[in-house]
Structure 1
């Protein structure tokens, strides 16, 4: 009878050890998510970068009055991951018009694939979809991007446009885009 009782105690001890091991494993799994990087980002994971975005002057676009400024600056900040400089975020911000006196040719249909910088040249890679418009639209499109990048980031002096990773002759069929653009396209 004593051996039966010892056997029962051993079985109970094994069962208790198994339960404790399971609890330990589940606790470890539960704690693994605490305090670590969840990928969702927090305020500590981002930084603000001051930029000057350039928008089309809505009065010029509607009237064609040559005495008006064609592009208007808008100073703001963009929120970026610390590993980024803010190039792509500033171009994405051009899709949002800050007020009725501003206009943009950077629509929600425009997809920026990547912005990289080599030397003093920013390479803006666009998806081919959404690239359409007349010569004035193409001029504003290029000017908004070039002026925003060259006037917001000291390291950028010129912008080369790519479509799907390739240099193209033109973005919308009106301006030569095979070579990099410098700032102030409207004054050239």
Structure 2
């Protein structure tokens, strides 16, 4: 009987040791990656339009930004427009005090909702309003999924930002104000 107990003890020890060894080795996880990890940011080149010095038109400014969620690209474009141009020879088209409330895409229309500062802090004039609207529309329609832009202020469609442009309906891209470099 002692011999039998000794064998059981040896076999039990080997079994426990085997379980400990296999339980402590690193696992090869080839399954799904951890879903809690944020997506990797990618660099995206944007084309933004800002006013040239004489407000005779819009000039393209290329900018590369980090994008973590491609679904937020339209919001990032508007935020970059609010931040203003990097090029010192260009001028902002949206008052810097303006807050972006949201951008929603509905059947090719970007619904862009601003705080009231887009009106109350705007420098005014028909040219200023034109630069603001067409800078926004032409920058957003650089995205293939955006065909037109509807401007909202505090969640409401406004007839006009400053009284010179009809903004009660979505506005389509107009390249006639885009100044091209001379060759």
> What TM-score does the superposition give when structure 1 sets the normalisation length?
0.66
Query: Is 1:105 matched with 2:93?
Result: yes
Contact 1:113 1:125 in 2 (8 A): yes
Counterpart CA distance in 2 for 1:185 and 1:177 is 18
Alignment of 1:27-106 (within 5 A): 45-58=40-53, 60-61=54-55, 70-82=57-69, 84-94=71-81, 95-106=83-94
Contact 1:78 1:86 in 2 (8 A): no
Post-superposition CA distance 1:38-91 (Å, at most 9, x none): 9xx7xx642322211011112x23xx5xxxxx1111122222332534111111
Instruction: Please give the secondary structure, in 1, of the residue aligned with 2:141.
Output: helix
Deviation at 1:103, TM superposition (A): 1.0
Structure 1: gaps of 5 or more residues: 1-34, 65-69
Contact 1:110 1:126 in 2 (8 A): yes
Query: Is 1:148 matched with 2:135?
Result: no
Contact 1:78 1:93 in 2 (8 A): no
Contact 2:84 2:93 in 1 (8 A): no
Post-superposition CA distance 1:70-115 (Å, at most 9, x none): 1111122222332534111111112232112211122311111111
Deviation at 1:165, TM superposition (A): 1.1
Q: Which stretch of the first structure deviates more once superposed, 89-98 or 162-171?
A: 89-98
Counterpart CA distance in 1 for 2:107 and 2:116 is 25
Deviation at 1:177, TM superposition (A): 0.4
CA RMSD of aligned residues (A): 2.3
